[in-house]
């Protein structure tokens, strides 16, 4: 049994990792920690875990934790993970970081996250954990930069077309709609029920910090600079991201050919499902699962892609465990639906 720990166990993402791991046959949870007033069983914080996972949640101490685990999940805010990762890496422990700290170049990081990166050396060691695209690299990685929720939904939908260089790269639009848990578990008037329910808004229009992450990966897949216009929206639901993506096609593409392209691209990838002609994914088809569902429409000279994920699973905790499974040589689907 691998020993697994989670730092940042009291967020929504931490809760989901715990729930997945509680049914995972190859590991045991040996460490949970988070910024807390007092150390207590995690089931006091998440009563749904009562009787299922009653491990004590401690205050964070990387030195202590590194001796208790083989693999550590950092379910921490941006700017905090880079304080913890080096200790585990030096101790030769595997790290899956769910923050943005190892996803961008140091320069881009400074621009988008507003501070100088504190662990630049490890950025180039990090493998971007978009499991379907970088599975081979993940197998040998010691540090995973687990993708952001929006980039997962946008990049998986665009990757096959982009790699075919089939789209006009200057006219790609990703209009994404997310449930509220994507904003984290914290007191904030803007996230309160009275403000969010019966409401909807666009925010950080083409200025969201996931934009450079999307463009970095797409540019790499395309082999040339790619710039998506990206608008995230907040929707009154707990979970799920639906991205509607619009591209201009460089040349005529039949729907049948497009569907084949996608099905081939994701062949052998158990968590991507391509919908048949005339069918499109809905949030409810993926909530509670690690799937990314994709539907395709060709209309005029444009292609409209619709992708759905559970932001806390394929967009965070589920993909993190999927990456752990790949890194550790477990079945890729172990513990996941």
Kindly identify the residues of this chain, within the stretch 162-191, that bind a copy of itself according to CB under 8 A: 171, 173, 175, 177, 179-181, 185-189, 191
290 — alpha (psi -120 to 50), left (phi > 0) or beta?
alpha
User: Which of 236, 256, 264, 277 touches a copy of itself (CB under 8 A)?
Assistant: 236
- Residue 184 Cβ, how far from a copy of itself at the closest point, in Å? 9
Q: Is 149 tagged catalytic?
A: yes
b/e per residue, 296-321, with b = 16+ CB within 10 A?
bbbeeeebbbbbbbbbbbbbbbbbbb
- Residue 334 Cβ, how far from a copy of itself at the closest point, in Å? 12
Decide if residue 41 touches a copy of itself (CB under 8 A): no
- Residue 272 Cβ, how far from a copy of itself at the closest point, in Å? 10
- Specify the 3-state DSSP secondary structure of 322: helix
Q: Is the torsion defined by CA of 14, 202, 107, 314 positive or negative?
A: positive
- Residue 89 Cβ, how far from a copy of itself at the closest point, in Å? 32
Could you tell me if 16 and 7 are in contact, meaning their C-beta atoms sit under 8 angstroms apart? no
Q: How far apart are CA 169 and CA 246, in angstroms?
A: 11
What binding mask, one character per residue, do residues 303-332 give for a copy of itself by CB under 8 A, x or -?
-x-x--------------------------
Decide if residue 2 touches a copy of itself (CB under 8 A): no
Decide if residue 36 touches a copy of itself (CB under 8 A): no
Kindly name the residue from 149, 292, 303, 308 that is annotated as catalytic: 149
Alpha-carbon dihedral of residues 185, 186, 187, 189, nearest 10 degrees? -70
- Residue 118 Cβ, how far from a copy of itself at the closest point, in Å? 29
User: Which of 59, 202, 257, 277 touches a copy of itself (CB under 8 A)?
Assistant: 202
Give Cβ neighbours of residue 32 (< 8 Å, ≥ 6 apart): 5, 6, 9, 14, 18, 42, 55, 56, 57, 58
User: How many other CB atoms sit within 10 Å of the CB of residue 51?
Assistant: 8
Alpha carbon 100 to its chain centroid, in Å, reads 10
Site for a copy of itself in 255-274 (CB under 8 A): 270, 273
Decide if residue 300 touches a copy of itself (CB under 8 A): yes
Site for a copy of itself in 63-82 (CB under 8 A): none
Decide if residue 219 touches a copy of itself (CB under 8 A): no
Q: How far apart are CA 244 and CA 210, in angstroms?
A: 16
User: Judged by CB, which is closer to a copy of itself: 2, or 275?
Assistant: 275
């Amino acid at each position: 049994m691998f020993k697994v720990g989670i730092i940042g166990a009291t967020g929504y993402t931490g809760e989901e990792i715990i729930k997945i791991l509680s049914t995972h046959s190859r590991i045991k949870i040996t460490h949970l920690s988070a910024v807390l007033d007092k150390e207590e069983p995690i089931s006091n914080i998440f009563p749904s875990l009562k009787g299922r996972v009653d491990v004590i949640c401690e205050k964070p101490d990387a030195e202590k934790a590194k001796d208790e685990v083989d693999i550590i999940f950092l379910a921490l805010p941006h700017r905090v993970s880079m304080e913890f990762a080096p200790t585990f890496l030096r101790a030769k422990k595997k790290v899956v970081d769910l923050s943005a700290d190892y996803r961008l170049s140091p320069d881009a990081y400074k621009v988008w996250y507003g501070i100088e990166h504190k662990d630049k050396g490890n950025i180039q060691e990090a493998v971007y954990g978009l499991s379907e695209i970088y599975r081979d690299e993940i197998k040998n990685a010691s540090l995973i930069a687990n993708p952001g929720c929006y980039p997962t939904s946008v990049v998986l939908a665009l990757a096959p077309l982009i790699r075919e260089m089939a789209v006009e790269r200057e006219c790609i639009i990703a209009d994404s709609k997310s449930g509220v848990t994507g904003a984290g578990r914290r007191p904030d008037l803007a996230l309160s029920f009275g403000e969010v329910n019966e409401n909807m808004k666009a925010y950080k229009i083409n200025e969201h910090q996931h934009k450079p992450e999307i463009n970095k990966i797409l540019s790499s897949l395309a082999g040339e600079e790619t710039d998506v216009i990206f608008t995230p929206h907040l929707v009154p639901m707990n979970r799920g991201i639906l991205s509607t993506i619009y591209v201009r096609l460089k040349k005529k593409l039949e729907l049948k050919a497009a569907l084949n392209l996608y099905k081939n691209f994701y062949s052998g990838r158990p968590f991507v499902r391509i919908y048949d002609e005339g069918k499109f994914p809905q949030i409810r088809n993926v909530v509670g699962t690690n799937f990314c569902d994709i539907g395709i429409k060709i209309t005029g000279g444009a292609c409209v892609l619709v992708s759905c994920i559970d932001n806390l699973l394929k967009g965070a905790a589920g993909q993190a465990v999927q990456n752990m499974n790949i890194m550790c040589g477990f079945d890729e689907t172990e513990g996941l639906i």
